[in-house]
Amino acid sequence: MIDQYNRYHFENNFFGNPKTCGALSVYQLGEMHCCPTTVVSPHCQQCYELTYVLSGKGKTVTNGTETMLSPGDCSVNFPGDTHSIVSDRENPLRYAFCGFMPDPGDRVWSMIIAELHRLFDGKNERIFRMKDENNVFYDIFTEINSDDFMSGEFISASLEKFLILLIRTGRKEPETFYSSNIKSETMLTYQIQQYLMHHVCEIRKLTELESLFNYNYRYITKCFRKIAGETLGDYHTKCRMNVACKLLTEGQTVTQISRILNYSSIHVFTRSFRNYFGMTPSEYRRSRRTASESAAEVPGKTKDKDRNHENRDL
């Protein structure tokens, strides 16, 4: 299933004999630290699976729908899904994963699974942001091969808690960028601006905002122009260019920056940069370097002038 080598791959595989943990049967559990070339090839899910991103970037493909992954994202897959994962080359993924099937007779787990299906009914983009929840998986890693008192029940309870928090995140949509209940056009525009400002490197196409905010893309663009006084495309370009300038001054190559900002090619990025600033990325970098060098020389020149004045006074 894994097509390329990984930097680190810790896995407990119980597919041949699922491990009973309270009301759960655990099929697999582990952590993967990908190489730039890691690809988990498409496979059919035999169980429910959680994929929690610890660091890095990449994408998950569920039933043909591609979704970008970043730290704190949790992907949910259902039995029967066709699923694959591709790591980012510049910033490889590191993620925890857990495959399981609940006891259909357990009341609490039946409620959790029913609510998951309600939240994701008809959707292949099953991602929620669950920041700072990585300790849940590390606790489970510790317990999975432990003989301590009720270790199986501990694992089941830990996953229960995690999924309840995930479901609450889904229900509290106005507090996230997945809101379907935003009443104010101003608030919608503000949230889109904030999202693009902080997540511009994660967006490949602006049409992705449609599924993130649960609004028709045409409505989003119309609303944005009305409230912000500029087009959504212009604002997106502005956010990209701000990041590009920062990365150029930090020493990133033009090729690296074009990839980070999800341009289709280095040529498209260079053309967009020139149209925005009137110069190429390389020219911008040189101009910044020249400005820095000139600023550094000023104190020396001042001292020379002071010395000349002192000599005249003598």
Contact 35, 92 (CB under 8 A): yes
Q: Are both 199 and 108 inside the same structural domain?
A: no
Strand 39-44 relative to strand 48-55, pairing: unpaired
Q: Is residue 1 part of a domain?
A: no
Whether 69 and 102 share a structural domain: yes
Average pLDDT over residues 204-222: 86
Q: Average of pLDDT values for 70-83? A: 90
- Tell whether 152 is covered by a domain: yes
Whichever domain contains 272, its CATH number is 1.10.10.60
Which range marks the domain in which residue 275 is found? 185-283
pLDDT digits (tens, 9 = 90+) for 59-72: 999 998 888 888 88
The total number of structural domains that make up the chain: 2
Are residues 52 and 112 both part of a single domain? yes
pLDDT of residue 48: 94
Same domain? 230 vs 156: no
User: Is 228 among the domain residues?
Assistant: yes
Rounded CA-CA distance 97/31 in Å is 6
Q: CATH number of the domain that 53 lies in?
A: 2.60.120.280
Instruction: Considering only residues 296 and 287, tell me which one the structure prediction assigns the higher pLDDT.
Output: 287
pLDDT of residue 255: 94
Q: Are 162 and 50 in contact (CB under 8 A)?
A: yes
Choose the weakest-confidence range: 74-83, 133-142, 147-156, 260-269.
Answer: 133-142
Question: What value does the mean pLDDT take over residues 91-103?
Answer: 92
Region of poorest pLDDT, from 134-143, 148-157, 238-247, 289-298: 289-298
| Same domain (yes/no): 130, 240 | no
Asked if 32 contacts 97 with a C-beta cutoff of 8 angstroms, the reply is: yes
On whether residue 270 sits in a domain, the answer given is yes
Question: Is 291 domain-assigned?
Answer: no
- Structure confidence at residue 234 as a pLDDT band (50, 70, 90): very high
Q: What is the dihedral of CA 55, 57, 58, 59, to 10 degrees?
A: 90
Residues 141 and 189 in one domain: no
Same domain, 141 and 92: yes
164 lies in the same domain as 200: no
In a domain, 309, yes or no: no
Kindly state whether residues 65 and 125 are assigned to the same domain: yes
| Residue 301 domain flag | no
Average pLDDT, the chain: 83
* Percent of the chain topping pLDDT 90: 38
Q: What is the mean pLDDT of residues 297-313?
A: 47
Residues 21 and 132 in one domain: yes
Distance CA 225, CA 233 (A): 10
